[in-house]
Structure 1
Amino acid sequence: MNQRIISIIKDLCEIQKNITIDDLSQKYNVSQRTIRNDLISINNILRDNELDEMELIAGGQIQRKDNFTNINYFLTEQDLYSYKLSKEERIAVASVLLMNSSKYITLSTIADHLFVSRATIINDLDEIKKYIHSFGLGVTSHPNKGLRVEGKESDKRLFLMRLANSKKENTMVSRHISIQAGNRITIQKVLSEQEHLHKSYLTDESFQKIILYLGIMINRHLMGEYLEDREMKNNDYYVMAQDILRYVSQYCHINTTENEIQFLSELLVDSQYMKQMTKENKIIKIQLITRQFIEHISYDLGINLNDDYDFFENLSNHLESVLKPTPPDYPESSIIDEVLEENQDVVEAVNQNLSIIKQYVSREIHKIEIGYIAVHICAALERKKNKEVAFHVIVACHAGIGTSQLLIEKLRKHFNFQIIDVISAHEAENVDPKKVDVIISTVPLPHCQVDYITVSPLLNDEDYIRVGNKIDALRNSRHLPSRIGETELSAKGLLDQLSPLIYEIAPVHHDELMKAVRKVVRDYFHQSVEADAEIFSPYLHHLLPSTHIQLDVECVTWQEAVRLSALPLLEYGYIEERYINAMIHNIEENGPYIVLSDGFAVPHEGLEQGSVKVGMNLIRLKHPVHFGADDFDPVEFVCCLSAVDHKMHLKAFFNLVNMLRNEEFKEALKTCKNVHEAAYISEKYEYSLI
């Protein structure tokens, strides 16, 4: 296989586009006979992997089947042994190998990596040196050690960025040479968070460029390669760079320097930005409505769904569209009708409690919208029920390992599955039915002998129901082996158990110890995606340290209580002055819905009303005041919330509402003697939920 064949495959993956032999001949400047030979090679790949072959029809048009794009999976399996590098690619890859080594590297090592002879690399050496020199870097040699790149660390990183971000078709550099480190999800969330906090929104291209750089930076740090001293220059993005690197360093276990901050700020200065988009300003209100709705649904169904965080998050996202003046155009789905037909008790519970939502909607709520609400509830019920059953499961995925890993973590999170293997879709027909209960696949498996269910890699609520229905059918249709009672230990499960124990033994050093334990456990389980995916949803005790709590505050009116609860956030730079007035106006306009529980209020305002950073501040009043909240008055605790987006505060808010259902928690807050004790109470009761 050569570079041209790879490029042709990429062209042909655009199934909707008509492509002829003549088109390809002109694009690649070769004869039509050469293109025909390339197409024969591609058909051989398709046939070997049991995919439908291409056909030539009138006018030399190349007809591809719908499953043609599955060929990409098998291309990612190729290595340098089967892929013949062009000389240009060989020079680039060899240059990266040299650049990405913190030590000397021999010509034989480079040759082994490229699956070519040492003589080939010797012949390429002058051009490799010339190529590296074009980036302002040099290559030194040592008779007994080999070669090494010399020059500024900043130039080396820019070199790696340019090659990894190359626009040339199918360059093999980034595919075969690891130049990045750190969890990409984590880096992306850090950057997204800081975009919001600093009101500086990168274009998609610049966003990806900064993510790429941060991955390279982390990798270089892990190799012990640090930036040279740089001239410190003030620019508008220095603080943003500082905040980005503070969190990247914390979560990716590296150290940062002033030189790193300065260089990143320079990259940010050179980046492209777009105007900030308008956001909905009723997000927190919707989440409060969601919480109230879930509590009533749980009571009516006799099943506690209050502790299902995904249910809370998914339903609040759905209700955001329901509360809009114009109903969204929902796609028709057969499963909606099935849900309405088979779960009349759920539909009845939704209709009985629809008034909680209707009071905030100025239009009729359509039947399909109610159906989707019922789907969310049924999915939550399935998750709760099927955590009790430990089926042996194989995951089949036509995409790469990253997609299958995300699917696995979602399955593990909501079902008590034993994931015994991950396979390619074409391997499914060879699975022994005696060793597995069900296969969960992202594509149909027509020749598979084992029960399987097809789901989306994102595993949405409809998929949860499909999986749950399949499990019910299996459970009812045959005798399950004794291993069903087994449970599987995961990195997240173990960390959840260790964290409160470590806090009890060493509260002062809890964060430091957990950081070390977390790294060891994740490395052992190879489950960093699972552990890092929610890392930027801070817990309540993260937002309510002792510095964000005041006790026995004196005031007379609820307006004064709201203002006093917000003043520390104003002082610390979490909110602007206008946010306080907006909160008071919100309560005057919409009523005291912010009083969540007996004696406990969470004032807030929508996004774009002056919130700068996500945060909370809690005050305990010396003399409770009335908010006009009927049975929930008088209010003794006022917890001001500042939110910057839909999700960052969600876990803290979710845990707070669940803790307020525990009278012991509120009683402990009432009787605590100082702010340090109050912060400890918050953390202690929150850990009891985890």
Structure 2
Amino acid sequence: MLNLRQRNIVTYLIEKQQYVTIKELASFFGVSARSIQYDLEKVTDYVTEGGGELNRDKKNGVQLSASDTLKKSFWLQSLKPAYDKHYSPQERHDQILKYLFESFKPMSKNRFSELLYVSRRTIVEDMKGVEKWLRERNLNLAYIQNKGYIIEGSEQSFRQAYVEVISSHHNLENLPDNLTVLTDKEYLEIDGSVKKVLTKLNHHLVQSSKDGLIYHIAITIHRLRNGYQISMPPNELLKLEKEMEFQIAKEIKQEIERNFDISLPMAEIGYITLHLLGAKKATVEDTTDFAEYSLLISTINRFIEKVSLQFGVDLTHDELLKKSLLVHLRPAIYRMQFHLRNKNPLREEIHQRYPDIVAAVSLHIGVIEHEFKVMFNEDEKAYIALHIGSAIERKMEYRDRKIRAVLVCASGVGTSQLLKSRIERFYRDIDVVTVCSVYELQDENLRKNQIDWIISTVSISDIKIPVILVSPFLVKEDRKKIGRKLEIEREKANQSDQAELNLNELLPEKRILWEVEEKDWEESIKKAVNLLERDNIVTDHYLTAILNLFKEKGPYMIIGKGLAMPHAGPKDGVNQPGISFIQLKNPVCFHHPKYDPIRYVVCLATTDAEIHLNALRQLSELLMSKTNMKEIAAGGKTELIRLVNKVSKM
């Protein structure tokens, strides 16, 4: 009798109606070529008995010849419903985990082989990946002689991993046929209970977090029914009782107990509370109830400031970034405090797209970790890097928009409306956001609305935004004044278009020095800046600005072990973009708690806040690679120049 995969092979060959290679079959069914060869031996006998023939060719593979009688026979027709139920290696991995989590006794290799229609050898190989996955979640895959495999570990780790297995691949609208923890009806009852409580208490979660909570409760019921209880230290439970989410968990408990005739211990309420605390909220308003809300806001501001200083991109006024980080970090802090996982499916993609930003987040995340006494894992860091990357891209897109202006006159009406109509007539590059009186001007509102200019018929002082004084009739001299200002902005935009400059264009060989001897951090920075000053990239004010920043902010420019990137703002004496690179013969102390001493000093100068991002990305590709750094250390200046040219093509 054929097993499921062997019957699927027959169906596959009949539908193909041509030769199929062993390699193609092995790839399609997710098993080894050896397993396919074994299957084909069984298929040959079975097909021959049914009046067909399996033709073999060394070069082309195998082809099935089946008579009409064979095709119409009952056994062949019965193959169709089972077709496409073979498992890929990843699907086998997930199925093995699900079986292990659902089983209360060891499962043998033979049993897995029967369930998944693969050989015992394939199961043994699959178990290596399963064991690694469990180990990463503080669980152990134990093998009991003559009995089989079973998962060992704490009940908390067991349940967290169990929820991850289920929620990673399923949602309530698409429950898998073989998800046997509870019935579909029971899942929907839990769903109704959770929705009822969340709606009643006006507590909003994103759908994925809501689904995760439902699976968490389902597994809780399943484990309690089979005698497995979870424990929580009394002091932790006491701390959780102070949270609003604890009251929500208590109401959910009451609903579940009423619907399932089961008693949930206090520890179970505690873990439901933890799930709620670690869940993603739907809006920023749902985050303001955080006990340390003010502290989190100020810490986020300091974190953004440090990242901004490193990249030379001012993100400190990006309200969307602040709100996004607030929504993400509030539950993330709880997840880290209680060791809850939040798998990031975009992690690898984020690392590839924003390697320099991931490095910057890893460097400065200590600001948040220290304040809240947590350690963020790589999944969480990647999420934070995604928020930073999006903010930087918004900043770059912002350059291409129109000039946003506010029109002001003594009354805020009449003459300003006349001025507005004339500006709209003469200047398509200016977007008049609003018309107001001088008394209505506030720096905070101007900043929030991203206002670039104030065009006014009256004199204005004590405002940080540029003011252009004109007459209500916008006479020729006024138009010349606005025209000159627009030309300056266009020139800046043209310079910004150089943002895709490559590293080798900004860092020529003449600005690379090796075996430089300097006594301290200040002299090292001076040397790097002098290379730029010599080429008229910067004025002497640039060095002063960097030193002042260092004294005010500390070693903000340290971006990795042994690497400093001093820089100031575009308005601090920058004439044109450029980079210098020095290698210190004897590394010096920059007073960084983690990455001292510093051997490499890379000085950046830009005429626009974003202009060096492409070159910096290439520089990060170069310097964040351990292999590259070893080659630079061994090959010196010549090797650095070769690698600079290499990454400049990336």
TM-score by length of 2: 0.28
When Rg is computed on C-alpha atoms for both structures, the one with the higher figure is 2
More contact order relative to length (CA 8 Å, sep ≥ 6):
1
Taking structure 1 as the reference length, the TM-score comes to 0.27
